[in-house]
Amino acid sequence: MMKTWQAVKRLLPMTAIFGLILAGCGREDLSVLRPQGPAAETSLGLMKLSITIMVVVLLIVFSIAAYVIIRFRRKPGQQEIPKQVEGNFKLEVLWTVIPLILVVVLAIPTVKAVFAAGNDHANDKNAIKVKVTGHQFWWEFEYTDYGVKTAQDLVIPKGKDIAFELTTADVLHSFWVPSLSGKIDTNPAGTINRFSFSAPNEGVYRGKCAELCGPSHGLMEFKVKSVSEDAFNQWIASMKSPVAVLPEDPELAKTFKNQCLKCHAVGDQGLAVGPNLTGIGSREAIAGILLNDDTGVDGAPIEENLKTWLHDPQSVKPGNLMPNPKDLGLSDAEIDGIAAYLANYKLD
Amino acid sequence: MDWITTVDHKKIAILYLLAGGLFFGIGGFEAILIRIQLIKPMNTFLDAQTFNELITMHGTTMIFLGVMPVIFALMNAVIPLQIGARDVAFPFLNALGFWTFLFGGILLNLSWVMGGAPDAGWTAYTPLSTSTYSTTHGVDFYTIGLQIAGLGTLIGGINFLATIITMRAPGMSFMRMPMFAWTTFITSAIILFAFPAITVGLVLLTFDRIIGANFFEVGAGGNPILWQHIFWIFGHPEVYILILPAFGIISEVIPTFARKRLFGYSSMVFATILIAFLGFMVWAHHMFTTGLGPVANALFSVSTMLIAVPTGIKIFNWLLTMWGGQVRFTTPNLFAVGFIPTFTMGGVTGVMLASAPADFQFHDTYFVVAHFHYVIVGGLVLGLFAGLHYWWPKMFGRMLSEKLGKWTFWTFILGFHLTFFVQHFLGLMGMQRRVFTYLPNQHFDVLNLVSTIGAFLMGVGMIIFLTNIVLTFRKPADAAADPWEDGRTLEWSIPSPPPEYNFKQTPLVRGIDAFWKEKTAGHTGMTPAEPVGSIHMPSATILPFLMSVGIFIAGLGFMFSRDEFKSDFVGFMFNHYLVTAIGLLITFGSMLMRSLFDDQGWHIEPEELEGEQI
């Protein structure tokens, strides 16, 4: 018995290390363990501190346990009654005081970081203000200073503080970009949350919804694109200028206008009840999860993704509010036409 | 019939064990389905809606209907014996508590076959759980089922408080009480204060859903954050309702098999009280990302970390109990010794979670899933296994097979660590919890596969345990009164299983570990505190069962009161609250019967007692 037990004891940390190597700590654009911005770094710093303390505690407990289990096994023929010890005041005080000290060591930086995280940059003139609205099951981003609204891809200038104001249009969601920052819930009007993060490097980061919000909760993903300041300004400009947006084929344009633009918006046309489609051809993914990748390694070309989505939105994201285009009377050819048009609707 | 009318705490314990075992099995099966779905990315084994129903029911079932009844089973089986009592303070209420729990549980699980299980998570956060976003009757089953089941828990808690305060054997002061009795006492106190909170929340949510109230409805000025506060003011103490009894069990098993008294008994008692007290102060650490602001987050961070101190005291006291002892690795002790490092791992991740800025990352990820499974499975379930193997001979008069017991331990604990250890890393790598599937190429695939394999191994452990039970029942009931030979507390001084009246003569307690003290003084049994006399026993009665059936019918009637039915008659019955009325009539009628017809119980006379070999 003892040998097996010891084997387990030895195996545990090994599985841990093995697990880590196996995982390689996760993707750079997704993992908490590979922070890409100051907010995530603060969190990771506290994690490192707490895990160090905790591993020391674990090692002490494990070694005492191992020693006790091996040393004080009942030997065959052992009959005399062991000494009945009531306790030891000094020892008990010792293991009350030491944990208290450890708690204080962890509590001080925690409290500091809590108050630092409370700084939301809402009144900072240099910060980019973004209003985030969670919907079942997509994200809306409104750049209040620029009058620009988009969905699913949050474009931000690198290095700048982004001041978020978060709310939800329906149920609770939670806005989370693991590699950039911890999460914060989107509450209904009246309990609006504010927080801030920044991304010092250019790149695309994966964002997720972290609060159960219905069937497609697990698929409510989004991307954060950190770009250079110039690229950001250019993006804002092209989002604002009403470019020619409707499909070239007048018949298709009519269908698109009558059916799709009742909920969606492109440029200055249509209603923005559903996700804003302006420049959708330049986005990282369709519906947040069908990754646009011409090489086909991590997804499919955008036109193919759009077709997948438009032919049966429910099978891609169960429970979403988009009606099936077929039920709206669109033919397969029309759907494919709209997919092709949207795929080519890129921003300059 | 005998079982439906019984008011004997030992039989009620067995009923709790059977019902708890059944629901535990259902919850376990749900867990296996969840793990199969997550075995690979973009799996289509389950659809999104079914998955959400499964996670909701898995959590709800395990917490309220799986582990709580097994805890209650052990409390019922052991507590009166440990404190030298002939039954609990209110045997009638004890039966009532069991039946309301069972019918509440049945009601909740009926949702699977009656049009949709609850799907808003076991925390049922609003607005997702309001009728706007959860349109089936699922959440109604949740709110009404849990109200009925919660009634049973509250009744049980009050009963144990009264029992432990008033019915201890002569000489058993509070500071001579066994640790399991202590933790039961404190747990019952937590139940007394925490369960009313959830009941209020559930009533408000029921009103919102069924009669259109607006406590949580945003559009009408309701506040969804209110639900989170109400839920967690119950929900956090609930964790201690679950884990404290496990602490108690470990504190019984380890001294017995180390042949040493519990190290630092009084510090253990005060640590228990302190944990219970702090447990009520920290509910908002479940809400760090809700946006309560830095002051609240800082306060709840620090107060949560403080719980590590009394918990640490307990861990070291257990280790020091074994120090200098003669540790024997029977199955119960294997589980108890396995509990210590496993629970410690769950405890330290708890401290990590307490740091709010780090929790912004941990919250609602698999890191949290790993943490609370380490506490509840690695802590509580290992504790329950220890307790079940330990007290099985006392409950049933049969020893479980040691060989199969050891197989259960190794498969279960290995499967457990395999399942949940890797989930810490899944969380840190960006996998949020409660997702029905995940995209490929996120480095989640291998770890999820490992986790699922571990879950199956745990399932194997459970099957071995069930086999052990079945095989054991085919053997004669011949366990000794003190089958582990080193029993320290009063329950080991009477036969296994105990006679209906427990103690022929109430024992005199002369110190902590009363039976051990007598044994070391060279006695074979306890010194009686009274002469042999007539023993008063409560009468069996069907009324608790009927009362619960009534509440069950009323609950169903209320739930469907707004539905349209094909049959006019059925529609009439439901829509005019007639079904509800019939149910309530049964319940209140039974209460009236109980009040009007005075039942004096019956007596076992000394002559009958003399005839038996005790």
**CB contact B352 to A (< 8 Å):** yes
Residues of A in contact with B345 (CB under 8 A): 58
pTM (two decimals): 0.94
pLDDT band per the 50, 70, 90 thresholds, residue A26: confident
Tokens of B380: 């509580």
Report how far residue A202's alpha carbon sits from residue A199's, in angstroms, rounded to the nearest whole number: 7
Residue A13: pLDDT over 90: no
Tokens of A172: 């609770």
Report how far residue B62's alpha carbon sits from residue B68's, in angstroms, rounded to the nearest whole number: 8
Residues of A in contact with B430 (CB under 8 A): 26-27, 30-32, 178-179, 206, 208
Residues of B in contact with A61 (CB under 8 A): 315-316, 319, 340-341, 344
pLDDT, one tens digit per residue, over A205-244 is 999 999 999 999 999 999 999 999 999 999 999 998 866 6
Mean pLDDT calculated for residue range B580-604: 93
Tokens of A331: 């033919």
DSSP code, position A318? T
Report how far residue B328's alpha carbon sits from residue B487's, in angstroms, rounded to the nearest whole number: 13
H or E element in which residue B36 lies: helix B9-37
pLDDT, one tens digit per residue, over B31-69 is 999 999 999 999 999 999 999 999 999 999 999 999 999
B267 Cα distance to chain centroid:
25
Residue B425: pLDDT over 50: yes
pLDDT band per the 50, 70, 90 thresholds, residue A76: confident
Mean pLDDT calculated for residue range A53-57: 93
Report how far residue B8's alpha carbon sits from residue B538's, in angstroms, rounded to the nearest whole number: 8
- Name the minimum distance, in Å, from the CA of B116 to any CA of chain A: 14
Tokens of B421: 């250890």
Residue ranges in B111-213 assigned as alpha helix (H)? 138-166, 179-210
Mean pLDDT calculated for residue range B238-267: 96
Test mutation, B428, B442, B516, chain A, max A CBs within 10 A: B428
Dihedral-angle region of residue A249 (phi above 0 means left; psi in -120 to 50 means alpha; beta otherwise): beta
What pLDDT sits at residue A19? 53
Residue B614: pLDDT over 50: no
**CB contact B437 to A (< 8 Å):** yes
pLDDT, one tens digit per residue, over B194-209 is 999 999 999 999 999 9
Q: Give the pairing type, strands A148-151 and A138-143.
A: antiparallel
* CB-based contacts of B68, cutoff 8 Å, min separation 6: B20, B101, B153, B241, B242
Q: Tell me how far CA of residue B500 lies from CA of A261, B45, B497, in angstroms.
A: 77, 51, 9
Test mutation, A73, A110, A205, chain B, max B CBs within 10 A: A110
pLDDT, one tens digit per residue, over A299-342 is 999 999 999 999 999 999 999 999 999 999 999 999 999 999 99
Mean pLDDT calculated for residue range B256-277: 96
Beta bridge partners of A168: A134
What pLDDT sits at residue B609? 79
Query: Do residues B63 and B242 touch, judged by C-beta distance below 8 A?
Result: yes
pLDDT, one tens digit per residue, over A156-190 is 999 999 999 999 999 999 999 999 999 999 999 88
Residues of B in contact with A33 (CB under 8 A): 428-429
Report how far residue B59's alpha carbon sits from residue B63's, in angstroms, rounded to the nearest whole number: 6
Residue ranges in B323-444 assigned as alpha helix (H)? 331-354, 356-362, 366-375, 382-396, 402-428
Query: Do residues B282 and B307 touch, judged by C-beta distance below 8 A?
Result: yes
Report how far residue A135's alpha carbon sits from residue A132's, in angstroms, rounded to the nearest whole number: 10
What pLDDT sits at residue A267? 86
Model-level ipTM above the cut of 0.85? yes
Query: Do residues B508 and B169 touch, judged by C-beta distance below 8 A?
Result: yes
Q: Amino acid letter at B478?
A: D
pLDDT, one tens digit per residue, over B171-193 is 999 999 999 999 999 999 999 99
**CB contact A20 to B (< 8 Å):** yes
